[in-house]
Amino acid sequence: MSSNKKYWKSVEELNDNSSIVETLQQNEFVEEIPTDEFLGDKQALESSSTSRRDFLKYVGFSTAAASLAACEGPVIKSIPYVVQPTEIVPGVANYYATTIANGYDFASVLVKTREGRPIKIENNTDAATNGMANARVHASVLGLYDNLRVKTPMKDGASISWDTFMSETTSKLNGLADGKQIVFLTSTLPSPSTHKLIAEFTEKYGNVKHVAYDAISESATLDAYEAKYGKRGMANYDFSKAKTIVSVGADFLGDWQGGGFESGYSKKRIPDHGKMSRHIQFESNMSLTGANADKRVPITPSQQRKVLAKLHSLIVGGAVSVDLPENILEAVQKAASEIKKAGSNAVVITGIQDVNAQTVALEINEHLSSKAFDTDTTILTRQGSDKAVMQLIADMKMGNVGALIINGVNPMYTLPNASDFKEGLDKVELSVAFSMKSDETASNCNYIAAVPHNLESWGDFEFKSGHYSMMQPTIRPLFDTKQFQEVLLAWNGNNTSYRDYLKSVWTTEILDGTSFNKAVQDGVFVSSSSADTGTTEDTSSSETDEEATETQSGNAARALASSSKSSGMELSLYAKTGMGDGQQANNPWLQEFPDPITRTSWDNYLTVSRADAESLGLTNENVANGGLNGSYAKVTVNGVTVENVPVIIQPGQAKGSVGLAFGYGRTSDALKNEMKTGVNAYPLYQDFNTVQNVTVEKSSGTHEFACVQLHNTLMGRGDIIKETSLEIFNTKDKEYWNAIPKVSKDHIETPVTSPDVDLWESFDRSIGHHFNLSIDLNACTGCGACVIACHAENNVPVVGKSEMRRSRDMHWLRIDRYYSSQESFEGDNEKKDNISGLGSSLSEFGEMESPADNPQVAFQPVMCQHCNHAPCETVCPVAATAHGRQGQNHMAYNRCVGTRYCANNCPYKVRRFNWFLYSQNDEFDYYMNDDLGRMVLNPDVTVRSRGVMEKCSMCIQKTQKTILDAKREGRPVKDGEFQTACSAACGNGAMVFGDINDKESKIAELKEDNRAYHLLEHVGTKPNVVYQTKVRNTAEA
């Protein structure tokens, strides 16, 4: 039956005489179709010889031709060497021990080269000199293949030859007027041979000054140490020897004093015979260190000073009067009593950039005679002196400096008073920048001396007194570059090569008759004699000054207590785990690396506490496309204003304080446009003080963040990150704190691990290898070295900020960070368990979504769990993902048709989809889009194309290689030989990989450990990744 309803299109139809209705009835389209406009252009139509029919013919023909042509394979050339170097076998990797030392990061590393190309940085396990390679060191290999490197020496922006460079600079150096200084402005360069070269240079030219400059200064620490121990350096700390660690504002798991302390720290964090260290952190920004602490007290920077002074008076003695809020005072007293109880097993450190504060910390440790505190092996990886830098700028402005030779620093970007420096630089007759980039500084100098990357250079470094690290080239220089030292040799009129010079310095001064080649092969050398002499010198000096330092430090504590006056907001400047001081800002791996705390990439931002954000009207919101938006703020320090700083509300940020990271906001042409992210914090770094009084005002507009984790809390789901306290861990059964979830079968509670409640038949995996990965949540500090190592090993593409914002990040390994919504995660669990009824669940679950003001924090690295009963495998319509007998969940990219069913069915959300072609695509102009950048790709791993799913393979290329090596040598595989990129990169021992069918192996033991559990065990996926329950040492002494 037909309907005689009339549908009204608009109110207009009510009007009988409406012209619009009339027109619409006549004409289908409201607006006229511009056919006339197109067809009316008679001239163009007639002049074109292509008729419509011709056009269709062409289309048809070209389609047919294209499809036919596609059937022909391309002709591929294979070009062998003319003379093959004996050490290179195509397809077999060579490893070289060398050093990454860029003035900010110092690490002894192994470099994996394939066909002569360095493709990956690995830890040099022989070199326990200063921790393991961090995320930035792992990423530094990409800097070698940076397309924007300076490829030849330059003069005023034009490239010149080295001969011209040498003759012009030499004559200018010789022709300098008397009384004019020649100044070397270098990064921290603890290189014996370079120091010797500069000394020789001084001898030849006279009136030479060497100024060491650290972009992020540790000058106060150095001054305090120098005053106390007579050597410019920093005390070494071995946190594996500390039972109680109290840190006042020291981010020692980050870059405090050059970093590298996390391996020692983690060693003691794994409960061993019921014991682990206790870590109390007083800090204002939420740092990696604070996130790992057993107890974290958020306080403002000015309070930090008082806390330290109070600690000093409580431990060492002497009275100071400090006004601190009651709860903080109580925390300090408790910390002091814990320290006293631990005695020499305790250590107190501080990150306050103030000579008094550093002196006080040294004094406390000396008073405790802390075992973790080591003044024998002084750390030498920070040498910068603020005073000397300021003096230099003054000298330059007065015109006293004739020649400025800059190596490895970028003061025009990193100096707070860069304009003063520029003014001075213009008065310098000869300015030479030794640089890999035409960066902010180099482009303002007369000459740019193109230097090779660390991986193309020779070098030597003394990280700690007596601990040397050797740098050797792992590839021939890619461009027409010369090392700083080579040019120095030439200026000195010495025509030996730098390698020979280095060798002679080492053989005569360092090696004590041991082989130079051995030192180069090992990459490290620990001198027995020099460490000893160092010790005697140090102790003698400290003994003689005993009395003096005693009184001095008492004064220091009082000065510290009284100096801390603050009004309004305080800003703490810090270095982000990914970016450090910003010299690697053009590295897309590091830009895309999500910050461990905020999980935000491609940005820096002002971290503000929730209370302050509310009072200032600053907001964060999650928007519908899955992105995080935040307000902008205007930040002013002493009249210097940084506009449009995006704001992130940071749980755990001390009220009254804000934080901002260095290393962003670069504008130089040495960076690709995509990498010019964030705001520059260095102008706020006045007087090289990381703490500044600041005013924050809200600006208009919203910032779009690329944050990959919008859900910050666990919502009381304690089975995702299981954790317990040391007390419970020691006293209760495993069933209490690490129970296996149960399901009811025939009204009997059955553990999910039982085969009775399993949907699937289990395969027999007892034969051959069965790989498992154990991740210890106690040892994991969230440092992210594994993320970058995975990036490098598996050719994981960089997708850029806008894709990251859409949660289309491609990281195979992510480190989830969770905040507790109550004081602790335990509180969350209780709250969830007590929810009953609809009303309460609606309101309280809502509350649980927001983190507490000072939350507990937990990190959890998550990659493909390689489930034995994998949900992804059963839903793949084309069987592109399948299980291997060795426990790995395989992914055949060539078989994948991109339905994404697997990603939807994965309970861990670890599968990544290639929404685009990320290599050789101008839309994604990162390293995979240029020939040079692609040299870093691992030839053993497929570069995925658009439309396929990918995920962690448990580094199957590495396990297969290990197996093949064993087969070729006809021997069984030894324990410890199997590694994944992440487990090899983890210097903390948090990740252990191996074969559980080898009953003697460490992983077999860890799998059966009481702390072991699987992620979302109740789902019944039977993963091959095990986590070790996090144990917190919450007991207050």
Q: CA torsion angle for 8, 12, 15, 16 (degrees, to 10)?
A: -70
**Shorter beta-carbon distance to other proteins: residue 953 or 1001:** 953
**Shorter beta-carbon distance to other proteins: residue 515 or 731:** 515
Q: Residue holding tokens 């400025």?
A: 404
- Is residue 852 within 8 Å of 823, Cβ to Cβ? yes
**Shorter beta-carbon distance to other proteins: residue 300 or 938:** 938
Name the minimum Å distance from CB 97 to other proteins: 6
- Is residue 784 within 8 Å of 577, Cβ to Cβ? yes
- The dihedral through the CA atoms of 762, 763, 764, 769 has a sign that is negative
- Is residue 95 within 8 Å of 122, Cβ to Cβ? yes
Name the minimum Å distance from CB 111 to other proteins: 9
SS3 of 609-656: CHHHHHHHCCCEEECCCCCEEEEEEEEEECCEEEEEEEEEECCCCCCC
- Is residue 898 within 8 Å of 913, Cβ to Cβ? yes
**Shorter beta-carbon distance to other proteins: residue 87 or 756:** 87
**Shorter beta-carbon distance to other proteins: residue 441 or 795:** 795
Name the minimum Å distance from CB 268 to other proteins: 31
Spatial neighbors of 825 by CB under 8 A, at least 6 apart, are 714, 718, 721, 723, 818, 856, 858
Type of residue found at 461: F
- Is residue 406 within 8 Å of 422, Cβ to Cβ? no
Q: Which residues pair with 447 in a beta bridge?
A: 155, 432
Name the minimum Å distance from CB 861 to other proteins: 21
**Shorter beta-carbon distance to other proteins: residue 415 or 928:** 928
Name the minimum Å distance from CB 191 to other proteins: 19
Name the minimum Å distance from CB 517 to other proteins: 6
Name the minimum Å distance from CB 892 to other proteins: 4
Residue 607: strand, helix, or coil: strand
CB atoms within 10 A of CB 706: 25
**Shorter beta-carbon distance to other proteins: residue 521 or 539:** 521
**Nearest partner of 722 among 906, 860, 867, judged by Cα:** 860
Name the minimum Å distance from CB 25 to other proteins: 52
Say how far apart CA 827 and CA 412 lie, in whole Å.
49
Name the minimum Å distance from CB 768 to other proteins: 5
**Nearest partner of 676 among 598, 602, 578, judged by Cα:** 602
**Shorter beta-carbon distance to other proteins: residue 698 or 961:** 961
Name the minimum Å distance from CB 895 to other proteins: 7
Q: CA torsion angle for 864, 870, 875, 878 (degrees, to 10)?
A: 70
**Shorter beta-carbon distance to other proteins: residue 626 or 768:** 768
Name the minimum Å distance from CB 961 to other proteins: 9
Length of the chain as a residue count: 1037
Residue 276: phi, psi to the nearest 5? -150, 170
CB atoms within 10 A of CB 356: 24
Name the minimum Å distance from CB 504 to other proteins: 17
**Shorter beta-carbon distance to other proteins: residue 87 or 733:** 87
Say how far apart CA 30 and CA 32 lie, in whole Å.
7
Spatial neighbors of 476 by CB under 8 A, at least 6 apart, are 116, 456
Q: What is the binding site for other proteins (CB under 8 A)?
A: 71, 73, 75-84, 86-87, 89-92, 94-97, 110, 472, 517, 520-521, 764, 766-768, 880, 882, 884-886, 888, 890-895, 940-943, 953, 956-957, 960, 963-964, 966-973
DSSP states of 221-258: HHHHHHHHHSSSSEEEE-GGG-SEEEEES--TTTTGGG
**Shorter beta-carbon distance to other proteins: residue 75 or 177:** 75
Residue 541: strand, helix, or coil: helix
Name the minimum Å distance from CB 925 to other proteins: 22
CA 826 to each of CA 293, 725, 1034: distance values in angstroms, whole numbers, following the listed order: 16, 9, 12
**Shorter beta-carbon distance to other proteins: residue 530 or 942:** 942
**Shorter beta-carbon distance to other proteins: residue 84 or 540:** 84
**Shorter beta-carbon distance to other proteins: residue 189 or 935:** 935
- Is residue 728 within 8 Å of 1031, Cβ to Cβ? no
- Is residue 304 within 8 Å of 348, Cβ to Cβ? no
Element (H, E) at 9: none
CB atoms within 10 A of CB 670: 24
Say how far apart CA 493 and CA 487 lie, in whole Å.
10
**Shorter beta-carbon distance to other proteins: residue 110 or 679:** 110
Name the minimum Å distance from CB 864 to other proteins: 12
Name the minimum Å distance from CB 880 to other proteins: 8
Say how far apart CA 49 and CA 204 lie, in whole Å.
78
Name the minimum Å distance from CB 91 to other proteins: 3
Name the minimum Å distance from CB 968 to other proteins: 5
- The dihedral through the CA atoms of 135, 136, 141, 142 has a sign that is positive
**Shorter beta-carbon distance to other proteins: residue 31 or 72:** 72
**Shorter beta-carbon distance to other proteins: residue 826 or 940:** 940
CB atoms within 10 A of CB 893: 15
Type of residue found at 197: L
